[in-house]
Amino acid sequence: MTDKPTVPEQTPKKTHQELTDKEAEQVVQTEAEKLGLLPRDAINTDAAPTLFDDFTVEDAEAPIEPELQDIATRVPPIISKDTKAPSPHYHGHRDRLKQRLLESDGEALADYELLEAILFRALPRRDTKPIAKELLQRFGSFAEVINASEGELRKIKWIKDGAIGEFALIKAATRRLLKTAVVERPVLASWAKVLDHCRAAMAFESREQFRILFLDKRNRLILDEVQQTGTIDHTPVYVREICRRALEVNATALILAHNHPSGDPTPSRGDIEMTKEIVKVARGLGISVHDHIIIAKEGHASFKGLGLI
């Protein structure tokens, strides 16, 4: 006679009322992980602002399974749509930085702190300090960050349309302020402002530009115009076109300006010869050439200051 195999006794499954608190907590933890949630005491506050970016209102309002309702009252609560995440640590820092900005007109702020403040609107839910420092490390200076190309800026993590728009706004506002300072008074009486205007407009361009400031008989600015845009180390200049344009706008004097993307403002032999030709032809038409300025990241060169005009 063959004995029947012994079947091990199965431990009866506990009902939810029979679970210990620790067992109940484990059940809820497992269910929470399935939903992509975390118990409140496991939250990383640095990640809290973006923890539930993919969590919908429908998820939060989904009914709890009946067998879990009793357990849910005995363990740490799960984050829901009604639970406010702790304020990120950088919120207080932003308030303090804004206060320092208002109290000192920005003079007390380091370059990276100014960049932080500019990024506040574009990145309202992220700590902007490490991003600002990375920008400075990548581009070298505050001015070079503001004037960096869109393509280069997008290589920095978190720099998207919003941040690029903020930088473009700062650049446009700066140029407008400096140009206004030149327009409102005789150019030769505010030479430093002319240089500031040209530097803001051209110093960080990646290609050469040839710019002309057309002046009236009182040396007030009539028109500031980019005549030609060339390559990284050359711009075609047409003397006849320059003089024709001067006559069209009734200019009696000119200031010539172009940039050297290489960073070195030293005039080349071609720059010198071209300037002499413009001066000669313009003089025959009763138009003076006050100066030719070469703008670069490392400074500027004045033909008049160098005795070349």
For residue range 171-180, what is the model confidence (pLDDT) as tens digits? 888 878 777 7
What pLDDT was estimated at residue 45? Answer: 42
| pLDDT tens digits along 49-69 | 443 444 444 444 555 555 555
243, 281 contact by CB (below 8 A): yes
Would you say residue 54 lies in a domain? yes
With residue 259 as reference, give the H or E element that holds it.
strand 253-259
Residue 121 clears pLDDT 70, i.e. is over it: yes
Start-to-end CA span in the chain (Å) = 125
Residue 284 clears pLDDT 60, i.e. is over it: yes
Domain's final residue, options 140, 174, 208 = 174
Would you say residue 278 lies in a domain? yes
Residues of the domain holding 142: 90-174
| pLDDT tens digits along 12-24 | 555 555 666 667 6
Which residue, chain included where needed, has tokens 């205007």? 197
Q: 251 and 284 in one domain?
A: yes
Q: 128 and 107 in one domain?
A: yes
Query: Where is average pLDDT lowest: 64-73, 103-112, 186-195, 276-285?
Result: 64-73
Domain's final residue, options 139, 174, 209 = 174
Cα separations (Å) of 62 from 59, 163, 263?
A: 5, 37, 62
Q: What is the mean pLDDT of residues 270-286?
A: 93
Mean pLDDT across the chain: 77
| pLDDT tens digits along 82-120 | 555 555 555 677 788 788 878 777 777 888 888 988 898
Residue 41 clears pLDDT 50, i.e. is over it: no
What pLDDT was estimated at residue 30? Answer: 72
221, 183 contact by CB (below 8 A): yes
- Closest residue by Cα to residue 119 from 108, 137, 134, 139: 134
**Phi, psi for 47 (deg, rounded to 5):** -95, -5
The model carries a pTM of: 0.54
What pLDDT was estimated at residue 96? Answer: 83
Would you say residue 242 lies in a domain? yes
Percent of residues, the chain, with pLDDT higher than 70:
69
Beta bridge partners of 295: 259, 300
- Beta-carbon neighbour count of residue 70 at 10 Å? 14
Identify how many contiguous H helices and E strands the chain contains and give both numbers: 12, 5
The amino acid occupying position 120 is F
Q: 278 and 246 in one domain?
A: yes
What pLDDT was estimated at residue 135? Answer: 92
Would you say residue 250 lies in a domain? yes
CATH number of residue 144's parent domain: 1.10.150
The amino acid occupying position 24 is A
Cα separations (Å) of 251 from 192, 213, 215, 246?
A: 22, 9, 5, 5
CA dihedral 188, 190, 195, 196 (to 10 degrees): -160
28 burial type by CB count under 10 A (0-12 exposed, 13-18 middle, 19+ buried): buried
User: Of residues 249 and 89, which shows the higher confidence score?
Assistant: 249
Q: Mean pLDDT: which of 68-82, 119-133, 199-213, 269-283 is highest?
A: 269-283
Domain total in the chain = 3
DSSP state of 15: P
> What are the start-end ranges of the H helices in 57-110?
57-61, 66-72, 90-104
What pLDDT was estimated at residue 254? Answer: 95
Q: 289 and 197 in one domain?
A: yes
Beta bridge partners of 291: 255
